[in-house]
Structure 1
Amino acid sequence: MSTSTFDYIIVGAGSAGCVLANRLSADATKRVCLIEAGGSDKSLRVQVPAGILSLYGDRHFDYGYKSVPQPDLNGRCIPINRGRGLGGSSTINSMIYIRGHASDYDDWAALGCDGWSFESVLPVFKDLERNLVGQDPQFHGTEGELLVDRQRDPNPVSHTFVQAAVTQGLPENSDFNGAEQLGAGIYNVTQDRGTRFNSHRAFVEPVAERPNLVVVTHAETRRLILDGHRVTGLVITRRGHEETLTARGEVILSAGAIGSPALLLASGIGPGAALKAAGRDVVHDLPGVGQNLRDHIDGMITTRSSSRKTLGLSVPNLPAILASPLHYISRRKGMLTTNYVEAGGFACTKYADGRPDVQFHFVPGYRSHRGRIVEYGHGYAIHTCVLRPKSIGELRPYGPDGAFEIDNRFFQDDQDIRVLTEGIKIARSIFAQPEFDDLRGREMLPGSGVQTDDEIAEYLRREALTVFHPVGTCKMGVDDMAVVDPKGLKVTGIENLRVADASIMPTLIGGNTNAPSMMIGERAARAVLADRR
């Protein structure tokens, strides 16, 4: 770097951080630094949708966090995959474009977050979106940077799932971001002609030549530098050496629901008692940091099938597998275009409050009953998650050197396991429809011996995981546990510091969190620019 002084320093080149970097560097008089702990997103495994399976657990692309043992999940430590590299978690996600239910944002406004109702955030979503599907302009934009498209070549079995869900009683839904979320359909994705279109490609690559925008990769942010209660910069580690970056203006944390609170805690900003217990100095006692952790708890049904209509690794399917690169290169078609969770939808259990309370992610291939990334054979599977879990966890400091523990406390509230049990029953009902007759096979999980509510609940305690949507650990609001204010996402009691990512969500939205995180980045950028004026 020619100089280590910037007007704005953004920590984290993920879904929100890339939006911020684009918007704040548009003013050529302001010098902007975007810091990312990971590296490039140019790998074919990233760009080709089917490569997603190879990214999970790879330390080049995934932090690979794990929770502490979860008492209500039989003491298991739950994997928490988070993206590492340009694009953040939008580099390893399933590319599904979902905003959540309109009422989710109205809930935020009702909690005192003025200006965050659905009426307020919808124009921001539209401004970011370049919808290629021709969907209702009342809900979709066509001039933004983020490409939203149909999947290029969904597996026929994904359409079978949608048809079976309709027979079961769900409406077919071609736009989960339109007037109604309820129903089943093929998901729209953030792709460009069959390649992953993450936040880095959408918002940073087109402006990478701006001389005032500096993107620093392979740089671990260690701690904030404070002068009293005013942030003046931060310390990073790069190539084994510590460097100090100075901020003339502001530092904005966009490191995600794990990274942002962890950095605050490493800097002595957080619950005073917990910081002292970990052997850290307390710079600012802010009790909400790391609290309010929420995520979508998920249960799976997986079925073996002899049908080669489904995706699968088998000797009879070997010719199709070998031909798939040619199909992809020549026409952007074939099995390499799959994001694996091609179809899905939203349903209401008997516990729903008038809006869907479970979401389905259907896989037209066999998901291993042993937890393997790849399993020999064919089949199909469905993931079912609780959209608004009542169990709330925390991220807490562990020791004096910046380490932390993640405690989701999954199923601590019994209502979550009751909702998920009902969701599993709905998913099974879809699979029981005649559309699946020629695909039938053995249900490997939960298995035919698991039928009663108690048996399903026990299965979930043994096997449930998440769909990797952590939020809430630096929540915005007006109560004593709020970390940032709703107007500008400024950290309470600290000058020149904001947080802009999924960690600021006061409650978990009913859907995937990538698009909402970009919306949060846009809102933060507008707040910074408004304050500048």
Structure 2
Amino acid sequence: MEEYDYVVVGAGSAGAVVANRLSADPRNRVLLLEAGPAGHPWTHVPVGYAKLVCNPAVNWLYSSEPDANTAGRRIPVPRGRMLGGSSAINGLAFVRGQAQDFDGWAQMGNAGWSHADVLPYFKRMERYEGGGDDALRGRDGPLRVTDPQPRDPLYRALIAAAGEVGIPHNPDYNGARQDGIAMSQATIASRRRMSTARAYLDPVRRRPNLRVETGALAERLMLDGTRCVGVRYAVGGQTREARAGHEVVVSGGSINSPQLLELSGIGQPDRLRDLGIEVRCALPGVGENLRDHYAPRTRWAIGARGYSFNDLGRGLGLVRQAVRYAVNGGGMIGMVAAPIRAFVRSREGLEAPDLLLGWVPMLTEPGPNGPVLSRRSGMTCYAHPMRPESKGSVHATSADPRRAPAITFNFLSAPVDAALTACAVRVARSIMTAPAMTPLRVTELAPGAAAESDDEILDWVRQAAETTYHPVGTCRMGQDGQAVVDARLRVRGIAGLRVADASIMPTLTSGNTNAPVIMIGEKAADMILQDAAARSRRD
């Protein structure tokens, strides 16, 4: 039995942050458990996400259950499995979301989660050297955020085309307003990925009060009555137990966190009994409320040369890209997964954008070890609603922690999601066919000009769409009977246990989720330390 003050399960976008902040006090003994390895060579190179998205060494490689709105397909659900978690394999885009996202959480009864409440944590975590308002942007945090420049002619053409259809250029969508098209702000610095492993763990690995254990699979939480007292985990086939004198913090993400709660007897009683798991705490919301962005990838051929990385990334072109990356960190090797994006309103009268479009300057085809460059020159544009209402679930399929859980998305089950998805595809078409794109000689490949009606577009979406890898909500924060954690992220009915990751989000934020999850880690650590100080004063 190992003794610590805090045990953090999962070293991803939130868990690495929590471990850093808790161990800043030398009196706190902190254990950080990570199921995967310490790292991988490709995680340092921005374009390395293409090598890691299908790599079982550092990726859980989950997939969803088939359903009618995925045309019976299993949708890939990649999740990072190494220090840094999904921040070590993701597409590197930095998107905070809208103020309305967090104000909505507060209006649901989650005190302390309004935009005014979370803004200090967004500022604390980032070191943004671009422009913007100092009242809104952080300048000296651990996570460097950079502004790639629209040097390539393709990006300049897209910005001009968006302007022609009424979408303005907005150089700081993480500032006062999100509307518009812009180059993607990125967690890239000095040509390297800024995962939470690099930003939050590397600088503090020598702290004597912080132990980071990799290759450590959490098997279950240890409960003493209605109190969590530690974690049982396995390393190299050996079972170990770590006792937490103060708290256990679960930061496994929206797929792994609800699974671990269920394996520990916390969840829906009938479901747990069917798996042969003793019920320790009945919480019907565990694993429910799963949301993600279901995004069709529209595909476009480009007849003109010099615009697509399909032309620029082969033979001598690839050598030139390597040189460009070495000189200024730009080009194909140093790019965000979607280097340019637009936040768009589906109709007049909306308070804020509700659609997101992102462009990838290449076409890819499925390969044996992940996507490979197509021989055809072109580009891809994904388009989707940002705040979907369709909800699914994640549930354990066995009492064995090594068995993958069942992931059921129920995409497009909310009619508004279907309508907005079709609208997003039409917006993508309007930009791609605007006059500024004429020199590129663009031709629509998918869904194709024959898909004109909403029904025809949605038929194609069901056949082709994937997620943008933003699962949230499966340990939802709230006050009602389906909530799993309260506003201080404490698991209802179990003392000494919190969840801090994307699973606590009541709803999806407007855009990519990595930045909000890092913020959650920052805020969770503050709340833990505040509550510890309050207990100390009482004692």
TM-score, structure 1 as length reference: 0.96
Retained in 2: the 8 A contact 1:369–1:444?
A: no
Equivalent-residue separation in structure 1 for 2:107 and 2:56 (angstroms) = 40
Equivalent-residue separation in structure 1 for 2:453 and 2:294 (angstroms) = 20
Equivalent-residue separation in structure 2 for 1:468 and 1:496 (angstroms) = 30
Classify 1:42/1:398 alpha carbon distance in 2 versus 1 (closer, same or farther; 3 Å). closer
SS of 2:431's equivalent in the other structure is: helix
1:313 to partner: Cα distance:
4.0
Retained in 2: the 8 A contact 1:302–1:369?
A: no
1:399 to partner: Cα distance:
3.1
CA RMSD between the two structures: 1.8
Matching residue of 2:385: 386
1:181 to partner: Cα distance:
0.8
Retained in 2: the 8 A contact 1:267–1:283?
A: yes
Matching residue of 2:153: 156
Moved more, 232-241 or 329-338: 329-338
Classify 1:352/1:395 alpha carbon distance in 2 versus 1 (closer, same or farther; 3 Å). farther
Equivalent-residue separation in structure 2 for 1:314 and 1:178 (angstroms) = 35
Moved more, 17-26 or 334-343: 334-343
Percent identical: 39
SS of 1:205's equivalent in the other structure is: helix
1:17 to partner: Cα distance:
0.7
Task: Give yes or no for the alignment of 1:321 onto 2:318.
Answer: yes
Task: Give yes or no for the alignment of 1:121 onto 2:121.
Answer: no
Residue type matched to 1:530 in 2? Answer: Q
Equivalent-residue separation in structure 1 for 2:140 and 2:339 (angstroms) = 26
Matching residue of 2:23: 25
Task: Give yes or no for the alignment of 1:435 onto 2:436.
Answer: yes
SS of 1:506's equivalent in the other structure is: coil
Equivalent-residue separation in structure 1 for 2:212 and 2:337 (angstroms) = 32
1:457 to partner: Cα distance:
1.2
Matching residue of 1:493: 493
1:247 to partner: Cα distance:
1.2
Residue type matched to 1:233 in 2? Answer: G
Q: List per-residue Cα deviations over 1:40-70 (Å, max 9, x = no partner).
A: 2351x21111121111110122211111112
1:165 to 150, 162, 167: 162
Matching residue of 1:477: 478
Matching residue of 2:398: 399
Equivalent-residue separation in structure 2 for 1:315 and 1:161 (angstroms) = 18
Task: Give yes or no for the alignment of 1:193 onto 2:190.
Answer: yes
Q: List per-residue Cα deviations over 1:5-36 (Å, max 9, x = no partner).
A: 21111011111111111110011111111111
1:154 to partner: Cα distance:
5.3
Q: List per-residue Cα deviations over 1:73-111 (Å, max 9, x = no partner).
A: 211111111111111111111111111111011110110
Equivalent-residue separation in structure 2 for 1:376 and 1:246 (angstroms) = 55
Moved more, 490-499 or 438-447: 438-447
Retained in 1: the 8 A contact 2:64–2:76?
A: yes
Matching residue of 2:503: 503
Retained in 2: the 8 A contact 1:307–1:439?
A: yes
The residue correspondences of 1:75-154 to structure 2 (distance < 5 A) are 75-151=72-148
2:12 to 14, 24, 30: 14
1:396 to partner: Cα distance:
1.9
Equivalent-residue separation in structure 2 for 1:344 and 1:330 (angstroms) = 25
Classify 1:328/1:380 alpha carbon distance in 2 versus 1 (closer, same or farther; 3 Å). same
Retained in 2: the 8 A contact 1:63–1:81?
A: yes
Matching residue of 2:453: 452
Residue type matched to 1:451 in 2? Answer: E
Task: Give yes or no for the alignment of 1:462 onto 2:459.
Answer: no
The residue correspondences of 1:19-58 to structure 2 (distance < 5 A) are 19-43=17-41, 45-58=42-55
1:351 to partner: Cα distance:
8.7
1:352 to partner: Cα distance:
7.5
SS of 1:361's equivalent in the other structure is: strand
Equivalent-residue separation in structure 1 for 2:449 and 2:61 (angstroms) = 33
SS of 2:445's equivalent in the other structure is: strand
Retained in 1: the 8 A contact 2:362–2:373?
A: no
Residue type matched to 2:394 in 1? Answer: L
Matching residue of 1:418: 419
Structure 1 gaps, min length 5: none
Residue type matched to 1:288 in 2? Answer: G
Q: List per-residue Cα deviations over 1:197-247 (Å, max 9, x = no partner).
A: 111111111111111111111111111111111111111111121111111
SS of 1:336's equivalent in the other structure is: coil
- Paired residues in the alignment total 529
SS of 1:245's equivalent in the other structure is: strand
Residue type matched to 1:60 in 2? Answer: A
Residue type matched to 2:429 in 1? Answer: R
1:4 to partner: Cα distance:
2.2
Matching residue of 2:521: 521
1:340 to partner: Cα distance:
3.3
Residue type matched to 1:421 in 2? Answer: A
SS of 1:382's equivalent in the other structure is: strand
Task: Give yes or no for the alignment of 1:181 onto 2:182.
Answer: no
Classify 1:433/1:152 alpha carbon distance in 2 versus 1 (closer, same or farther; 3 Å). closer
Residue type matched to 2:513 in 1? Answer: T
Classify 1:315/1:134 alpha carbon distance in 2 versus 1 (closer, same or farther; 3 Å). closer
Equivalent-residue separation in structure 2 for 1:239 and 1:83 (angstroms) = 20
Retained in 1: the 8 A contact 2:217–2:235?
A: yes
Classify 1:426/1:280 alpha carbon distance in 2 versus 1 (closer, same or farther; 3 Å). same
SS of 1:335's equivalent in the other structure is: coil
Classify 1:216/1:430 alpha carbon distance in 2 versus 1 (closer, same or farther; 3 Å). same
Matching residue of 2:531: 531
Retained in 1: the 8 A contact 2:310–2:378?
A: no
The residue correspondences of 1:217-256 to structure 2 (distance < 5 A) are 217-256=214-253
Classify 1:413/1:279 alpha carbon distance in 2 versus 1 (closer, same or farther; 3 Å). same
Equivalent-residue separation in structure 1 for 2:311 and 2:279 (angstroms) = 57
Retained in 1: the 8 A contact 2:433–2:442?
A: no
Retained in 1: the 8 A contact 2:40–2:58?
A: no
Structure 2 gaps, min length 5: 534-539
Retained in 1: the 8 A contact 2:366–2:372?
A: no
Equivalent-residue separation in structure 2 for 1:426 and 1:157 (angstroms) = 18
Retained in 2: the 8 A contact 1:153–1:337?
A: no
Residue type matched to 2:531 in 1? Answer: D
Q: List per-residue Cα deviations over 1:248-284 (Å, max 9, x = no partner).
A: 2211001101111110011111011221233322111
Equivalent-residue separation in structure 1 for 2:221 and 2:138 (angstroms) = 37
Equivalent-residue separation in structure 2 for 1:128 and 1:198 (angstroms) = 12
Moved more, 420-429 or 71-80: 71-80
